[in-house]
Amino acid sequence: MKLVSLRTLPRKAKTFVVGWGETKEQFATKRDRINFFKMWTKDRVRENLGRNASGPIKNFRLSTRIGGRPIKVFLRDNISDLLEFNAIFGRNLYHIDRKIKIDSILDLGSHIGLSSLFFSSEFPDARIECVEPVRENRVILKKNLSENKVNAGVHDFAIGGRNGSGRIFLSKPNAHSLHEESGKSREIDIKKIDFFDKDFDLIKFNIEGAEYDLFKTGKNKLTNAKCLIGQIHKSILGPEKSGEIIRWLESNFDVEYRTKGDYLNFVAYRKGLREDSSV
């Protein structure tokens, strides 16, 4: 399949992908923004692939650069993949501003691997452990890791507050969740974070409400990390549980909030952590 480079897209395309988060006033509702973004992005991809504008695009790949390093990204034709690509590579929500030596990364809720691709570009020598319980996502995750020769392991369970099995709900394309009980579901394995017997320099999590279980049972592992990157799903957890996580974070880490609202994205650095001048 022909690769599409962001550099070959029209100038308007580049501006829109990077600046999408700042264009809310152009649309009446969030759904309008999402629908426009999806339609507009696919039309640009069709143009560059030479596809008929009315024909479907089942899958496509994009080529781009992070820190001067070329990467190839395999995406599916759904809003989940497009929004995550924009959040990570457009809005730069996972970028680490401080000079920190990162040798090991735990990526909880790896989805299709976009976060791992981003981290491998910023920390090419780091070993990454990817945790993704949904098999359809893991297929694309493995493609993206293999295509870019990322040093990573892939684990097929979910992180939660206990060891055992449970049901993950698949009703929302961008929010497979252990905690939002609606729609179709399937049984999966669940493990606590101490399944991993070592500590990690960087822990990222986007686990659709299971972050509360992670904080309740995995504080030692989290505290030992140099940096945490995550999303707090306030609409799933409610104000009490969300507030408990935020208070613990701000007591132990220097927290930078990248977004506001029901989906609170942040980058947090362990208090007292010194920057590494050799990085």
Q: Annotate 88-114 with DSSP letters as a single string.
A: IIIS-TT---S-----EEEEES-TTSH
Taking the C-alpha atoms of residue 7 and residue 183, their distance in angstroms, rounded to an integer, is: 40
Residues 70 and 150 both lie in one domain:
no
Pairing of strands 263-270, 227-233: antiparallel
Residues 98 and 18 both lie in one domain:
no
Residues 240 and 156 both lie in one domain:
yes
**pLDDT of 13 strictly over 70:** no
**pLDDT of 158 strictly over 50:** yes
Share of the chain above pLDDT 70, in %: 70
Identify the residue with better confidence: 80 or 4: 80
Residues 121 and 143 both lie in one domain:
yes
Residues 180 and 238 both lie in one domain:
yes
Show the tokens assigned to 90: 């457009």
Alpha-helix residue ranges (DSSP H) falling in 2-134 = 11-19, 30-49, 79-85, 114-122
Taking residues 35-49, what's their average pLDDT? 55
Phi-psi region of 267 (alpha: psi -120 to 50; beta: other; left: phi over 0): beta
Domain count, the chain: 2
Look at residue 279 in the predicted model and tell me its pLDDT: 67
CATH of the domain at 269: 3.40.50.150
Q: Which of 92, 116, 142 is the last residue of a domain?
A: 92
Look at residue 173 in the predicted model and tell me its pLDDT: 54
Show the tokens assigned to 185: 């579901």
Run of H or E including 243: helix 234-252
Residues 183 and 86 both lie in one domain:
no
Identify the residue with better confidence: 201 or 50: 201
Sequence-distant (≥ 6) Cβ neighbours of residue 35 within 8 angstroms:
none
84-93, 185-194, 260-269: segment of lowest average pLDDT: 84-93
Residues 241 and 175 both lie in one domain:
yes
Residues 72 and 146 both lie in one domain:
no
Look at residue 19 in the predicted model and tell me its pLDDT: 33
Contact 242, 232 (CB under 8 A): yes
Residues 153 and 275 both lie in one domain:
yes
**pLDDT of 110 strictly over 90:** yes
Q: Which of 39, 66, 92 is the last residue of a domain?
A: 92
Range of the domain at 129: 93-279
Residues 84 and 155 both lie in one domain:
no
Residues 55 and 146 both lie in one domain:
no
Residues 11 and 110 both lie in one domain:
no
